Structure 1
Amino acid sequence: MCCTSKSKLLIIFSFIFLLAGCGGSSDNNTITNEAKTKLTRINFRDDNLKQCVLDTRLENIEDLKILDCTEKSIESTLGIEQLTALNILNLGDNELTDIDVSKNTTLVALFLNKNQLTNIDVSNNTSLAVLHLDNNQLISIDLTNNENIKTLTIDVDVICSGNVCPGQ
């Protein structure tokens, strides 16, 4: 009986260690799955944007930190919200009329000059240090949450909308 009890205890402890090693929190599994999300799985509305992303030759979303899609005739940025690791995004000189960067919260530099943007919300992009919006059709912009901006290019008529101009 003595040996049988020891054998049973050994089996129970082995089973517990096996379960502990195979387990893990669902948060860790989620991070692992997100880390493996392929850029090819993103549904981009605009084929030119998709091709620009694929031209980086990167495989995973978290590896794409810098994206330069200047002069690519891009009309829609739908899908870009999934590129949550982006630090620098250059979509200058395209055909954009709107853009949603609210989920791209790691952006530190955003270049959207020479488009047809009429509105942009960068309130969630609190890490932005560089913002280029010149040569668009913006009427106003709220930079209240963007205290880190060091470089801003924007058309004068946007800054001076109505009777309120900086320094007056």
Structure 2
Amino acid sequence: MDKMDKDEPRWLNEAELNAWKAFNTLIIKLPAALDSQLRNNSGLSHFEYLVLAALSDAPQRALQMSTLAVLANGSLSRLSHVVKRLVKHGYVYRETAPGDGRCTLAVLTDQGYRKLAGSAPGHVEQVRSLVVDALEPEQIEQLRHISQQILHAMDPDLPCPDRR
């Protein structure tokens, strides 16, 4: 193999290109559709919903900001801006972590929990309508597996439950 062959990109074949185009369209359109539904029905962005949901699943409904950023798939800077808005609405408050004054916790309030609980049915229906109901039952497992493989390729250290 000469140098030119080694430097040649590994171009996508037609099947790979078609799969990529469909997937690329999906990763742009699905988040926008989920965000739109949440904004219209509950006044929350999809990211705000993910933050509230992560907090609702946490012990004492509290998480360190850095952990929350990872769980919500956002940067610490973006999370900080969103938490500021959620604090303004009374859905979250911040406090210094007990025993570690360097860490800040975000804590879900009862009002925030009620907001999440009121938003969840519409969000779940949108997820069901756009994703779950569009697939055959055996494709749900395939979707999970494919998603986890791609996530692992992007970040091998990312914990992927039940990764096979």
Bigger fraction of residues in helix: 2
Common topology (TM > 0.5): no
For CA contacts below 8 A with separation 6 or more, give which structure has more relative contact order.
2
Instruction: Tell me which structure has the larger Cα radius of gyration.
Output: 1
TM-score range, shorter chain: under 0.3
TM-score by length of 2: 0.25
